[in-house]
Amino acid sequence: MNDKEQRQFKTSIVVTGMTCATCSRMVERSLGKVEGVRFAAVNLATETAFVVSDREIPKEELVQAVEKAGYSVSEERAEDLEKTRYLKTKKNLALSWLVTAPLMTLMVFHMVGQHVPLYHPLEFFGGALAIFWAGRDSIKGAWIALSHFHANMDVLVVSGSVAAWATAAFAFAGFPVVSFGAVGAMIMALHITGRYIESRLRDKASKEIRALLSIQAREARVLDGEGHEIMIPIEAVKEGMTLLVKPGERLPSDGELLDGTTSVDESMITGESLPVTKNAGDGVTGGSLNLTGAVRIRATRVGEDSFLAQMVSLIQEAQGAKVPIQAFADRVTNYFVPGVATLALVSGVFWYFQAGRLSPFLDGAARFRPWATSLRDPLSLSIFAFITTIVIACPCALGLATPMALITGTGAASKKGLIIRNAEAIQTARDVTVAVLDKTGTITEGKPTVVETNLSPEALAAVASLEAFSNHPLAKAIAAASDERLPVTDLEEITGEGVRGKVAGTTWFVGRPEDASKYDAHLALGRTVVEVRHDDSVTGFVAVEDPLREDAIEGIRRLSEMGISCVMATGDNEKTALAVAARVGIAEVRAGVRPDGKLDLVRNLQARGGKVLMTGDGMNDAAALKGADIGVAIGSGTDLAIDSADIVIVKGGISRLADAVAISRKTFTVIRQNLFWAFAYNVIAIPLAMGALLHPVIAEGAMAFSSISVILNSMRVK
């Protein structure tokens, strides 16, 4: 991979004015034309655009691209915009029904033969107020689309309501046409009602992200050089500052506990319900709640580098991504609105010329439908069919089907302490048949300790000095076995073998034993044995033990119940690997595997025809994580943004892996259900509307319900 491929710039912006999938697609297309943009995804549900580029693009260029498509970029947070829009929609909703309800009452009297004085003037002016004032945002959305030579959901609604209101204008002017002015007002009122309910439900579905944002402390108590307390805004906290956190307060930043002991509630971040005890030297996470003691912490990561900021960023990135199944829905919606407009015109023309011949058909249908139209006049019936057809179609449900499910799915995952970074994993997870699990740090805790050694204190000091230069968990355990440090030269780390170097002028090697059978007693206990050679002669050994994660046995059992077979892949000795595998219930073990060998293993398993999920620590296993169909990194605050992984487990182990697969499968199932019902609704409803078998009011109500039902179904992912 060259430097250009590795270098990526990611930008998120808030886009306003979008109302349906066509709008978001137009913005996406415009952003994609900006020089340097490699990928652009616009999420209708969250009103955000996510851009990946190979150069740092000034925000002004992205704003121009959005405005070129007819929409705007806001500096406000998406949740603040949602609140403003909600309040505005609430006012428009009240006005529309304040006008529409009396009009519909008068229309009922008019339809049963009770002449209402001034009905046509009331219908004309009242309909105009409901459509052109209460529905002005929809009219603006329709104008934006038409002025940029495309059509969206607003175009259909406005066309239907204005066409219905126009009949009231003709009737008011004295033309012999049946008036649908009240119906036009009802269409707009129902549309605004649907938007209002949709806004409330979308707000509820995305509450997990807002909850993460809300737990960030607003201020921090900083200690100056003399120990005085100073309250500063959270934005002013810098790395290295000493912060005082009292009981009941949230930790203002990621840091290291300098002294004292306390219990910390990390449930909002990791999903763990039990408080975690923290001692001096332990790392703490910003946003978690300090429960018991007043403590001092040293800020280590602040702002965008903090764990919480990275977590929110990754979740929002996943929510703005697309799954392959959405491509089909996008292709359909691309032609949907123009197609519906054409069908509406065709139905109008058809009934204008065929009304007389098909009157018996309408009379027969009226016996089964209480809402059947009694219209037989060609012009009125033509307008009736046109309005109903153009109102019944609903690309909005198609546009919300995928992003709403992703919002609830990724939000539910975040509450479990895991992040689905790549939306494609949601679709791929349903076909996973094999899970390849690294041992150290995945099945085990990754915090090994030295349990036995036959080295002299001098030899152990030399070995610890060598291992102090390595980040491998085993090396850290051995380095901690001696406090003495000796000068090291000619250090060489041999991948998959060990480390070699000179200490006090003599050569030492620490690593894989030449003859592992000599250590069978230790290996049978699941320990890892590291052999020490001095000037090419075996000097002794160090036995290291890494305890199992407490959820390893349960997690592997759950994966097996899901139909996923588990394979342990480790660079450790075969006997050690088999001992650990037997304790957790894994039958297939690949021991002595180097990092590049794990990638070969993944490819061999893929060649059998199944989908492979690889789980590792995200560093030595990077190639295998990238090569697997789904890569899962067992992460922490220090390595959260692991680029090689599709899913990052923030807290916990194998059981979280089972949670991730379960949520992914559930989310994809809901996406399929949403798309099916959105398509089925239109396939059934449009022919009925073209056949003049639906009333426009029922059509608008059904259209609004289809969008709301998609959102409600998406919330089932929780």
Paired with 50 in beta bridges are 12, 41
| Alpha-carbon torsion (418, 420, 426, 432), positive or negative | negative
Contact 219, 231 (CB under 8 A): yes
Amino acid at 67: E
703 token code pair = 């259209």
438 is catalytic: yes
CA distance 670 to 425: 15
Q: Phi/psi of residue 180, each to 5°?
A: -115, 25
For residue 77, the 8-state DSSP code is: -
Q: What is the CA radius of gyration of the chain?
A: 33
| Alpha-carbon torsion (679, 680, 681, 683), positive or negative | positive
Amino acid at 109: F
- How many Cα atoms within 13 Å fall on the side-chain side of residue 472? 24
β-strands 289-290, 432-438 pairing: unpaired
- How many Cα atoms within 13 Å fall on the side-chain side of residue 370? 1
Decide: helix, strand or coil at residue 395. helix
CA 140 → CA 184, 558, 605, distances in Å?
17, 52, 55
For residue 137, the 8-state DSSP code is: H
| Alpha-carbon torsion (250, 254, 258, 260), positive or negative | positive
Contact 394, 678 (CB under 8 A): yes
CA distance 155 to 23: 11
- How many Cα atoms within 13 Å fall on the side-chain side of residue 136? 7
Q: Phi/psi of residue 258, each to 5°?
A: -85, -35
21 token code pair = 């999938």
Where would I find the H helices in 552-695?
Answer: 552-561, 574-584, 595-607, 622-627, 654-690
89 contacts: CB under 8 Å, gap ≥ 6: 137, 192, 195, 196, 199
Paired with 541 in beta bridges are 531
E-strand spans in 280-397?
Answer: 283-284, 289-290, 295-301
Where residue 260 falls (left for φ over 0; alpha for ψ -120 to 50; beta otherwise) is left
User: Closest Cα partner for 32 from 62, 74, 71?
Assistant: 62
Contact 237, 222 (CB under 8 A): yes
Q: Choose, from 154, 254, 438, 572, the residue flagged as catalytic.
A: 438
Paired with 35 in beta bridges are none
CA distance 325 to 149: 27
Contact 630, 428 (CB under 8 A): yes
CA distance 303 to 92: 39
244 token code pair = 């005082």
Q: Phi/psi of residue 134, each to 5°?
A: -60, -35
Paired with 49 in beta bridges are 13, 42
CA 449 → CA 446, 452, 475, 516, distances in Å?
10, 9, 10, 20
506 token code pair = 């003599």
- Residues annotated as catalytic (active site), given as ranges: 438
